[in-house]
Amino acid sequence: MSALDEIIRTEIKRDGSIPFARLMELALYCPQFGFYDRIENRIGREGDFYTSVSVGSLFGELLARRFLSWMDPIRDGEFQLLEAGAHDGRLALDILGWITTHRPELDGRLHYWILEPLQSRRRLQRRTLERFLERVRWFECWEALPRTGIRGVIFSNELFDAMPVHRLGWNARLREWFEWGVEIQNRDLTWTRLPTDSRLTDFPLMARLPEELLEVLPNDFTTEVCPAAVEWWDRAARTLQQGKLMTIDYGLEAEQFFVPERSTGTLCAYYRHHANSELLARIGDQDLTAQVNFTALRTTGEAAGLRTEGVHSQRAFLTGIFESMMKSGSNLKNDARTQEFHTLTHPDHLGRAFRVLIQSR
């Protein structure tokens, strides 16, 4: 039994059971033992999951082009690119590499900030970004940022799908939601039903589900809510003084969670690139991820005064950047770069799986 197993079991024995969201939080982010707090490589062909950054440097370079086009209207003063959850720092390296080469006149005006709560990740990112340390500043939490806020772009890539989610189940007989928790039976982690906290059933959109939908939901129909994502997006929106708030992630609109093929929710585990439904297995050794509720993020940003510019597929978003490159006389340099673009945008690869939400102030 691992140290992380002991930590989780001790907490369950103390409380009798814990919400799945708490188990997911410990499994992914427990200091020293959580999946994301361990330094070994988790990204790429030899790891547990594959991202757009794994494809090559083109993804970061395309983002750099778009970010700077968004910032062109800011004619004077400094501005920031704030990346949240920068993984191993590779995306930051690709973005800064392109900017240094193609827009050297921005040196002194553009500041790259990273919001990263995990100390182990900050150390790894510093190693990756060694050549740009003078241009990068790290923050552990929102409270550590300057009170003047952000003038520029706040962005993330595959951040929200790994935020802890609460699993809610539908009791058709009582016509009420319950929460799936975790307990110990015969030394095994097993599912149990917990009373539902009102803040979960009052979660944006859950409280407004139409009666005709509730009438036909089967018993034990399960879905997820993520208060942490909504709270994070609200904080980001209120920190943004001028510019864009953007995320790229797996996700759905609210109504897409309530369809027959998602009767057990969208949570999934990934172990060495293979998806599985064993959410209580390999604690700390496999990734846990759920589809992002883009409707909840969008409405939260709008309530904070942001304007929604669109929710696009990654294919449409990156193709738009490439088309603007073509108009300015730029092009992909060789077959390898063309293959990178194909992998990032083709519907059978990453082009359809990821969506891009953009809001502005």
β-pairing, 240-249 vs 150-157, is parallel
**pLDDT tens-digit profile of 149-173?**
999 999 999 999 999 999 999 999 9
What is the pLDDT averaged over residues 20-25?
A: 98
Q: Is pLDDT of 135 > 90? A: yes
Q: Is pLDDT of 329 > 90? A: no
**pLDDT tens-digit profile of 186-239?**
999 999 999 998 888 888 678 789 999 999 999 999 999 999 999 999 999 999
276: number of CA atoms within 13 Å, CB side? 14
**Please, is 106 exposed, middle or buried when counting C-beta atoms within 10 Å of its C-beta (0-12, 13-18, 19+)?**
middle
Per domain, the residue ranges of the chain are: 3-33+166-225+257-289, 52-162+229-250+291-360
Q: What is the per-residue pLDDT for 322?
A: 87
CB 135, CB 93: distance < 8 Å: no
Query: What is this structure's pTM?
Result: 0.94
**Please, is 105 exposed, middle or buried when counting C-beta atoms within 10 Å of its C-beta (0-12, 13-18, 19+)?**
exposed
Q: Is pLDDT of 74 > 80? A: no
Q: What is the per-residue pLDDT for 42?
A: 56
What is the pLDDT averaged over residues 2-31?
A: 96
**pLDDT tens-digit profile of 256-276?**
999 999 999 999 999 887 899
Q: Which CATH class is domain 52-162+229-250+291-360?
A: alpha beta
Q: What is the per-residue pLDDT for 21?
A: 98
**Closest to 325 in 3D by CA, of 53, 109, 68:** 68
Q: Is pLDDT of 41 > 50? A: no
Kindly report the three-state secondary structure assignment for every residue of the chain: CCHHHHHHHHHHHHHCCEEHHHHHHHHHHCCCCCHHHCCCCCECCCCCECCHHHHCCHHHHHHHHHHHHHHCCCCCCCEEEEEECCCCCHHHHHHHHHHHHHCHHHCCCEEEEEECCCHHHHHHHHHHCHHHHHHEEEECCHHHCCCCCEEEEEEEECCHHHCCCEEEEEECCCCEEEEEEEEEECCEEEEEEECCCHHHHCCCCHHHCCHHHHHHCCCCCEEEECHHHHHHHHHHHHHEEEEEEEEEECEECHHHHCCHHHCECCCEEEECCEEECCCCCCCCCCEEECCEEHHHHHHHHHHCCCEEEEEEEHHHHHHHHHHHHHHCCCCCCCHHHHHHHHHHHCCCCCCCCCEEEEEEC
Q: Is pLDDT of 356 > 50? A: yes
Q: What is the per-residue pLDDT for 49?
A: 55
